[in-house]
Amino acid sequence: MRLVLLDSPDEVRRNFYPLALSRPLWELRCGFSSLGEKLIAKVGAGDVAYFVPDYMADAYRTKVERPLRLRSGLAVNDSSVLDGDDLLIVDPRVKADSFNVAGRGPSEVGLDEQGDVLYARVAKADLAKLPTGDIGKFIAAAKAKLPNVRSALPTWQYIWDLVLANAEQITADFAAAGQSGVEGKVEQPNAIRGSKKDVYIAPGARVHPMVVIDAENGPVYIDQDAEIYPFSRVEGPCYIGKESVLFGAKCREGNSIGPACRVGGEVEESIVHGYSNKYHDGFLGHAYVGEWVNLGALTANSDLKNDYSTVSVMLDGRRAIDTGSTKVGSLIGDHVKTSIGTLLNTGSYVGAMALIMATGKPLPKFIPSFAWFLEGVVTKGFGKGKLYETAKMAMGRRGCRWSEAEQAMWDAVFEMTAPMRNEAVKKGRRVMLAR
């Protein structure tokens, strides 16, 4: 049986922006690992293929910083994988812990309430009925010719759902990992609160003196080669990824950090992708932060409104979506850079590649991708070329390469996000002229 991860339709993917601008949905994280890793583990698949939006296919093929389970035998947008074996095709919105569809069996197509395909199990004997040269035509034909079933499988709906579920998912992932104890180095004096069965310190990890690991209210997993500097407090549930470093951090409950992040100050119930920095003091709460982000000293976000009402988020710059939660911080895309003292509003959307200069007051709730936010307004700044130079330099400092395929993907994202950015730039010009 071959597992095929098929990224969601564009209208669904928008609910996971700005993080999904530069990655398929299964690369989003919750708990210890990505949604894709969880689905692969649940299905028990050894043969996996991937279909992503065309504009990111080349970049995804060449991206080296990918979990090994997603890297082996990587087949991306290769229609030949649709022939020769039983197939289980899954939309990554499906929550892995509730996915109970057998990999082999009679062909069937599972549909959600809107009639969209959540999964398709296609027996090898039925492949001859379907056009295997194009994934879109294949799915359309499967829906038309194979038995349809109404599926009640739970799905992720919005990007903030991952943040709100993160603490619970960390606890579940810790139990599934079945590891506890100290295999790394813990220097004295230190304090471990709660049960030591709820703490795992992996080989190569190093915990300096004067560190508190508090597992009283949830487990703490410190992965390989992570390092915790003095005067840090790490509260569970918490996952510190490989090669990440905490610098005197107040690491509150519910955080998934890393790999290879640098974190200081106060962080609470947040997901931080790889290679991002929040080195200095400042508060990050109920946030989702992409890769290669640098949050300047004293950058802080609000995650609770003064009137305690539910938080709304503007995913498209126009339409406010009620999250149903009183706690939602910032959604920060890849390669974002903020200046010292940046103040992010409750439920903020900061588009990918945005560069932000502080104003001394909370910023607008929506900042488009590739925006230069200067003097309190969105501008074109020095253009995307300068942003690319910064991205290339940042990646080079960590031994990673800015490839032609990556730049082509970002060029496509630039065009995709142009309408909202251009509208904001025009508004900014009017504000500047009125001053």
* Distance separating alpha carbons of residues 201 and 205, to the nearest angstrom: 6
Please give the pLDDT value at position 61: 87
pLDDT above 60 for 330: yes
* 136 exposure class (CB count in 10 Å sphere: 0-12, 13-18, 19+): exposed
Q: How many helices (H) and strands (E) does the chain have?
A: 10, 37
Q: Which of 329, 347, 337 is nearest to 297 (CA)?
A: 337
- Mean pLDDT over 87-110 rounds to 95
The phi, psi pair for 408, rounded to 5°, reads: -60, -40
pLDDT, tens digit (0-9, with 9 covering 90-100), for 143-194: 999 999 999 999 999 999 999 999 999 999 999 999 999 999 999 999 999 9
CATH number of 2-157: 3.90.550
Please give the pLDDT value at position 68: 40
- Mean pLDDT over 369-385 rounds to 95
- Mean pLDDT over 359-380 rounds to 95
CATH number of 161-434: 2.160.10.10
Taking all residues of the chain, what is their mean pLDDT, rounded to a whole number? 94
Instruction: Assign 72 a pLDDT band (cuts: 50, 70, 90).
Output: very low
* Structural domain spans, the chain: 2-157, 161-434
Please give the pLDDT value at position 73: 53
Instruction: Assign 74 a pLDDT band (cuts: 50, 70, 90).
Output: confident
Q: Is the pTM for the entire model greater than 0.85?
A: yes
Give CA 160 to chain center in angstroms.
10
Q: Which of 18, 156, 165, 145 is nearest to 90 (CA)?
A: 156
Percentage of the chain beyond pLDDT 70 is: 98
Type of residue at 141 = A
Length of the chain, in residues = 435
Please give the pLDDT value at position 318: 86
Q: What tokens appear for 132 in the block?
A: 């295997």
pLDDT, tens digit (0-9, with 9 covering 90-100), for 279-317: 999 999 999 999 999 999 999 999 999 999 999 999 988
